[in-house]
Structures are given as C-alpha cells and as structure tokens.
Chain A
Amino acid sequence: MLEKGRISSFQLSVLLVGFVLGSSIIITPGGDAGHDAWIAIALGLMEGSLIALIFTALVLRFKDKTIIEINDLVFGKVIGKLISVLFLWYFLHLGALVLNDYVHFFRLELYPATPRTVMLLIIMLVCASTVNRGIEALARCSLILVPLTISVIFLVTMFLIPHFNLNNLMPILDLPIGKLLWSAHSVASFPFAESVVFVMILAFLNKSEKGGRAVSKALIIAGLVLIIASIRNSAVLGPMVAAYNYPSYQAVQVIDIRDIFTRLEILVAINFITMGFLKISVLLYGTVLGLAQVLNLQSYRPIILPVGILMVILALTNVANTIELFDFTHKIYPIYAVPFQIIIPLITLIIAKLRQLPKTDGGMP
C-alpha cells in the first residue's frame, strides 16, 4: 500500500470539518438566497449528507481500498482507470479553484500589490511539504487548526451580538421555492459534497466501521458552524449581505470594542489561511495518491512537487477574471460537480452490489 499511515475516526472527523470549512469560511455558501442563506445551508447539509452516505457506503464496502482500486475492481482495468482519471481531474481542478479563491481574496482585501504567482507558490510549498509527510501529519495539523478556527468564529460572533438586528432575517422563506432549492443544491455541491475527495482517505481509518458515523458527525458540525456564520452575517449586514463577495470579512469589520478590539477581520483572513491550507492539502494528497495508484508507482512522494506546480498553473490560467470565477462557482459548478459527487459513486455502488463485490475466497461478499 502506498500510504502506511493510519488515522482515527476522530482525526478523520476533524480533518473533514476543516475541509468543509475550507474556502466556505470566507465565501459563505448560499449567498444567492440572501437572508435565507441559513435555510439553504440547512437544506444543503441534508443533501450533502445523503451524498456522503453514498460514497462512504461504497468505500467502506471495500475495506482498505481507495476509489482508484475500487474502480479497477468494479469496472475492470481499462474503464476503471478512465473513471479514476476523471476523479483525479476533479480533485486537481477543485484544488486549483480553491487556490483561485485564496488568491482573489488576498489580492482584493490584503495584498493588492503581491503577484499572484508568489502567493500561490508559497501556499503550495507549505501544502506540498505537509502532503510529503503523509496523511497522519495532515490529520494532526487539523487537530490543532480546526478547534482554533471554530473558537475564533464563536469569539467574533460573540463580539458581534450587540450589532445583531434579527429583523434582518425577516421575512423567513422570502424566496421562490425553486430558487431556494437551487441555492440548497449549490450549498450541497459546495462545500458539503466536495468531501467526496475523502474516498481517497477513508481507506486509512484504523477502525473502518466507524467511518460512516465520523463523516456524518463532521458534516453536521461544519454545517452548524456555517449556519451560525450565515445568521450572524445576515443579522449584522442586513440586505447588503448578498452584495458582498466576502460577507464574513465585512461583518467582522464592524467590531469595535472601546477602540481596543478593532480590525478583527484579520482573524477571518487567518481562518481562511489555515482552513484553505487544509483543503488544498487534502486535494493535493488525493490527486497525487490517486495518480500514483493509477500509474502503479511505489510512492506518491516523487510526484507531489510536479503535481503541485500543475495545480498552480491551472489556478493561474483557470479563469480570465474574478467575475468569471464567481460566475463559474455560482451558476456552473453545481451542475459540473454532479457526475463526480453523485452519479459516478452511485453507479459504482450499484454495480458493486449487483456484482456482489468485493468477493471473498468463498465467493460471497
């Protein structure tokens, strides 16, 4: 096996919370639902959890196997490899999109004069170094970073309570049902169902039977954090919440406690740095491990740097401008992601059940 490390179900949950918070910590999902975004997030969490049930059921059926090995078993070597390459493309592209979010945010809000390439290379070097140390190091990083991030979110939310105007959340369900459902599906596809990349990680659980519960718990915790952030942003910013690209960053700017605690928005930026790092690292890990399995390599480590460079190049050339990026993530991504998040894992699971795979020595699954 290419990865010798093992992680506990608790570490998996924490890593998954960090992954889901990733870029959604700054781009609160469900933004097109306006002040009803929290309802869209709740509905999206339900859809995302159903999607997670599909891929966890698939991976846990084949103990100690990643999706790449499962594809080979279910579809055969040739078609299996083709489907695996599609997954690898999705992981690489998603990694590039998160890098895009990263760079656009920092260029717009913090470092307008720093070249994009420099920012991308710095974060990629950190992620590559972590991935080089294996899944255990990545999981241990999350154990430190995720609790810190969640604590900061709760802290700034407490500071913002005096600025809450709950009338900003009224009227509830002020959206046509079609628009709300589309918004909920957008939230399911970004960020909840993106956890499909964990089909590369679930195989390394030390107790695989606890995988399903660990994934569900993580999605619920991340969903609750996002719902709280969304309610906070709507209550503070009011109707303007839909106008901002980074509502959490704008909302936290309001905090001013006796001229001592001001400019706390930097905490939101730090949160984005840490959670973005986790998300990019998981995606880079999934891509290199998967590619090494497709190519039958003895180790994924030699290809970390070249694949990281390709991810950076893809991020640099992915979209022509910020408007196209937002257009892609809001309108197209919820459709584009469906085959990778739902259709392929579902078809694989159905075929595995029909073929009674995996077969044991006695011929029974």
Chain B
Amino acid sequence: MIALLLMGFGIVALIQIPGLIKKQWWRELACFTVLWSIGLVLSVMLAMGITLPPVSTMINQYISGMFGI
C-alpha cells in the first residue's frame, strides 16, 4: 500500500516539477512541494493505520459545548 502511495505521489511530482523548473516558477515550486509533502506524510500515516483526528467531529464537539446542543 505504501509502495503504491509513493508511486502515485512520485507520478504527481513528475508531472508538475519539470514544468515549474523549466518556467523558473520557484515560488510555485516551493508551494507545490510544501503541499505535496503534507499530503504525502498524511497519506503514509493513514496507510500505516495511524488515526488522524476527525476534524468535523472536533468542530461538532466544540460547537455542541459552546451552544449546549
């Protein structure tokens, strides 16, 4: 599963990065790399069975507590 993930992310990088380097869009390359890396780390964590905090459930608890629903 992790190998598949790495392959998928590798393909995305191969599609995007050469074009950005060619155009010398360094700012875009930096943004792409940061977002791509966050996606990669979170995906690998999910593939390893690590549970990420459920955002809507957290918002649910926060608003329920605030308004006493």
**Interface of A with B (CB < 8 Å)?**
93, 97, 291, 295-299, 302-303, 305-307, 309-310, 313-314, 316-320, 324-325, 327-328, 331-332, 335-336
Contacts and interface: CB of A to CB of B under 8 A. Distances in A.
B42 A324 contact: no
Given A295-B31, A317-B54, A305 B42 contact: no
Contacts of B69: 331-332
Chain A CB within 10 A, most for which of B27, B29, B32: B32
Contact of B32 (A93, A296, A302, A317): A302
B48 to A, nearest CB: 14
A302 B27 CA distance: 11
A305 B15 CA distance: 10
A328 B43 contact: no
Interface of B: 12, 15-16, 19-20, 25, 27-29, 31-32, 35-36, 38-39, 42-43, 46, 51-57, 59-60, 63-64, 67, 69
Contacts of B57: 319-320, 324, 328
27 contacts: A295-B27, A296-B27, A297-B27, A298-B25, A302-B16, A302-B32, A305-B12, A309-B12, A309-B36, A310-B38, A310-B39, A313-B43, A313-B46, A316-B46, A317-B52, A319-B54, A324-B54, A324-B60, A325-B56, A328-B56, A331-B60, A332-B60, A332-B63, A332-B69, A335-B63, A335-B67, A336-B63
Contacts of A299: 25, 28
A122 to B, nearest CB: 13
A214 B33 CA distance: 39
B54 A310 contact: no
A140 B46 CA distance: 36
Nearest to B9: A309
B37 to A, nearest CB: 9
Which 8 interchain pairs have the tightest Cβ spacing?
Answer: A306-B35, A309-B39, A317-B52, A306-B36, A328-B56, A302-B28, A318-B56, A302-B32
Given A297-B31, A309-B39, A324 B56 contact: yes
Given A319-B56, A328-B56, A302 B63 contact: no
Contact of A317 (B19, B35, B55, B59): B55
Most chain A CB atoms below 10 A, which of B15, B28, B52: B28
A43 to B, nearest CB: 21
Contacts of B15: 305
B45 to A, nearest CB: 9
Given A302-B31, A303-B31, A328 B59 contact: yes
A302 B23 CA distance: 12
Contact of B46 (A317, A318, A319, A328): A317
Contacts of B56: 93, 97, 318-319, 324-325, 328, 332
Contact of B12 (A296, A306, A310, A313): A306
A306 B38 CA distance: 9
A75 B48 CA distance: 43
Contacts of B55: 93, 314, 317-318
Contact of B25 (A302, A316, A319, A331): A302
